[in-house]
Chain A
Amino acid sequence: MNDRRRCRGLIAFASMIVFCVTTHAQVTFERLLNSAKEPQNWMTYSGDYSGRRFSELDQINLTNVRTMVAKWVYQTAATGKLETTPLVVDGILYATAQDNRAFALDARTGRPIWMYQRQVPGDIRPCCGRVNRGLAILGDKVFLGTLDAHVIALDAKTGNVVWDVIAADYRTGHSFTVAPLAVKNLIVIGVSGGEYGVRGFIDAYDADTGARKWRFYTVPGPGEPGHDSWEGDSWKVGGAPAWNTGTYDGKTNQIFWPTGNPAPSNRGEGRAGDNLYSNSLLALDADSGKLNWYFQFTKHDEHDWDATQVPVMIDVQASDAEARDAGGKQLIVQANRNGFFYVIDRTSGKLMTATAYGKQTWSEAKDSEGRPIARKEASPTLEGHTVCPGALGTTNYMPPTYDAQTGLLYVTARDQCDIFSTAPQPYEAGHAFYGSAYFPSEEARPYLGFLKAIDPTTGEVKWKFQHTSPTWSGVLSTAGGLVFTGDAEGNLIAFDAASGKPVWHFQMGGAVYAAPIAFAVDGKEYVAIAAGSAVYAFGLP
Chain B
Amino acid sequence: MGVLLVMWFGFVLVGDAQNPLAGDAKAAKAGEYEFRINCALCHGLGARGGGRGPDLTRAQKKHAHSDADMFQVISNGIPGTAMPANGTNGQGVGMTDEEIWQIITYIRSQEVKAGAKASGNAARGKDLFYGDGNCSMCHMVEGKGGRLGPDLTAVGESRTRDALIESVRDPSKRLAWGLTEATKEFPQEYESVAVTTADGKQIRGVTLNEDSFTVQIMDMGEKVYSFEKDKLRSFQKTRESAMPKYEVDALSDKDLEDIIAYLTSVGAK
- The one of A126, A423, A502 that contacts B93, using a Cβ cutoff of 8 Å: A126
For chain A residues 29-64, which have a beta carbon within 8 Å of chain B? none
**Chain B contact residues, majority secondary structure:** loop
Complex: A127 Cα to B174 Cα, angstroms: 30
**B99 — which chain A residues lie within 8 A by C-beta?**
431
A sample of 25 cross-chain residue pairs with beta-carbon separation below 8 angstroms, ordered by A number, consists of A125-B87, A128-B93, A383-B45, A384-B45, A421-B36, A423-B32, A425-B33, A432-B95, A439-B40, A440-B41, A445-B175, A469-B186, A470-B186, A472-B185, A488-B185, A488-B186, A489-B184, A489-B210, A489-B212, A491-B211, A493-B212, A507-B211, A507-B213, A510-B183, A511-B184
The residue in chain A whose Cβ has the minimal distance to the Cβ of B40 is A437
- The one of A445, A446, A487 that contacts B212, using a Cβ cutoff of 8 Å: A487
Q: Is A505 engaged at the interface, CB distance under 8 Å to the other chain?
A: yes
A442 touches B51 (CB 8 A): yes
Closest 6 CB pairs of A and B: A489-B211, A437-B36, A439-B41, A511-B183, A425-B33, A127-B93
Q: Is B239 engaged at the interface, CB distance under 8 Å to the other chain?
A: yes
The residue in chain B whose Cβ has the minimal distance to the Cβ of A433 is B93
**Chain A contact residues, majority secondary structure:** loop
Residues in chain A within 8 A of chain B (CB atoms):
80-81, 125-128, 195-196, 383-384, 421, 423, 425, 431-432, 434, 436-437, 439-440, 442, 445-447, 467-470, 472, 487-491, 493, 502, 505, 507, 510-511, 513, 532
Complex: A128 Cα to B93 Cα, angstroms: 6
| Chain B proximity of A123: nearest CB distance (Å) | 8
Q: Is B199 engaged at the interface, CB distance under 8 Å to the other chain?
A: no
B92 touches A432 (CB 8 A): yes
Complex: A502 Cα to B214 Cα, angstroms: 14
Given A469-B185, A469-B186, residue A432 in contact with residue B37 (CB < 8 A) = yes
The residue in chain A whose Cβ has the minimal distance to the Cβ of B214 is A507
**A196 — which chain B residues lie within 8 A by C-beta?**
93
Q: Is B150 engaged at the interface, CB distance under 8 Å to the other chain?
A: no
Interface readout for B151-176 with A: 1 if CB under 8 Å, 0 if not? 00000000000000000000000110
- The one of A125, A128, A383 that contacts B96, using a Cβ cutoff of 8 Å: A125
Extra inter-chain contacts (11) besides given A81-B183, A437-B91, A472-B185, CB under 8 Å = A383-B45, A423-B32, A431-B96, A432-B93, A434-B37, A468-B210, A468-B212, A488-B184, A488-B185, A489-B184, A502-B212
Complex: A472 Cα to B99 Cα, angstroms: 30
Complex: A248 Cα to B87 Cα, angstroms: 35
Complex: A372 Cα to B109 Cα, angstroms: 43
**A81 — which chain B residues lie within 8 A by C-beta?**
183
**A80 — which chain B residues lie within 8 A by C-beta?**
183
A421 touches B45 (CB 8 A): yes
| Chain A proximity of B32: nearest CB distance (Å) | 7
Q: Is B94 engaged at the interface, CB distance under 8 Å to the other chain?
A: yes
Complex: A409 Cα to B191 Cα, angstroms: 33
| Chain B proximity of A515: nearest CB distance (Å) | 16
Given A195-B93, A439-B91, A467-B212, residue A446 in contact with residue B184 (CB < 8 A) = no
**A487 — which chain B residues lie within 8 A by C-beta?**
211-212
Complex: A423 Cα to B92 Cα, angstroms: 14
**A469 — which chain B residues lie within 8 A by C-beta?**
184-186
Q: Is B142 engaged at the interface, CB distance under 8 Å to the other chain?
A: no
